[in-house]
Amino acid sequence: MLEVEGLVVNYGLVRALRGVSLRVGDGQAVCVIGSNGAGKTTLLRTISGFLAPVAGSITLNGSSIVGLRPHQIARLRVAHVPEGRHVFPDQSVHDNLLLGAFSRRRSRAEIDDDCESVFELFPRLKDRRGQLAGTLSGGEQQMLAIGRALMLKPAMMMLDEPSMGLAPLLIEEVFRRLLELKRRGITMLLVEQLAYRALEVADYAFVIEHGRIELHGPAAELQRDPRVRAAYLGNAAPPPAAAG
């Protein structure tokens, strides 16, 4: 569905992406993992149309989407859950969801149905449907952001570090939902710092470092790969069996 070839992107004065290529197949869940500053967010923002690549191509179902504005790409049913959630703080949970469906010209009944299925997935949001989104906790805001993206009825969903700032229990919940979404057949591109969480959900994985894809392969393989631990864990934990 999504094909990225040789993407080169500058972020200010820094070359953030130096020739990144990846592929997301229909119905696949692909994750991109890497340490902070490796270029993960830049990648998603470029695909979404906020940044213009200096070189390289991005094609969605065969046609190039480089140069399209973000709202146009959204209307192609590519949903992007941005880093830091970015819910609309002064509007209610319900309104946030309605706005997610803004670009869809559907009957009120159908949109209400979609709202209900989001509430099914995230019962906590249903309890708070009238509450202002800015007063929700971090975990609830993350769920709302995902719900809002789902209202787009996306063919592909891109998530930027959904675990950021969440307590471990909530991360658990969020990733359980992502597995559910995957089961429902939504194509996913997941960017995460928590490598092992991401590798559990994904079918295929790319490891990005300093703006380049260093490693890629089926998620199950990478889970066992010692280079993955070394690549971005730094030495937060000493390698269990390594000498010194």
Contact status: 157 vs other proteins (CB under 8 A):
no
Measure the CA–CA gap between 73 and 185, rounded to whole angstroms: 20
Report residue 170 as tokens.
Answer: 């909530």
| Listed ranges 1-9, 55-63, 91-99, 181-189: which one lies at the site for other proteins (CB under 8 A) | 91-99
Looking at the Cβ atoms of 63 and 235, the one nearer to other proteins is 235
Nearest to 32 by CA among 40, 42, 23: 40
Length of the chain: 244
Q: Are β-strands 156-160 and 55-60 bridged in parallel, bridged antiparallel, or unpaired?
A: unpaired
Over the window 19 to 38, marking each residue x when it contacts other proteins by CB under 8 A and - when it does not, the resulting string is ----------------xxx-
Question: Is residue 233 part of the contact set for other proteins (CB under 8 A)?
Answer: yes
Sheet strand arrangement including 2-11: 14-24, 2-11, 55-60, 63-64
What is the three-class DSSP state of 220? Answer: helix
Q: Minimum Å distance from CB 121 to other proteins?
A: 18
Ranges within 197-216 binding other proteins (CB under 8 A): 197, 199-200
Are 48 and 90 in contact by the 8 Å Cβ rule? The answer is no
Could you list the residues that contact other proteins (CB under 8 A)?
12-14, 35-37, 48, 50, 69-71, 74-75, 79-80, 82, 84, 86-91, 95, 98-100, 102-104, 132, 134-138, 140-141, 148-149, 152, 161, 163-168, 171-172, 193-197, 199-200, 223-226, 229, 233-238, 240-241
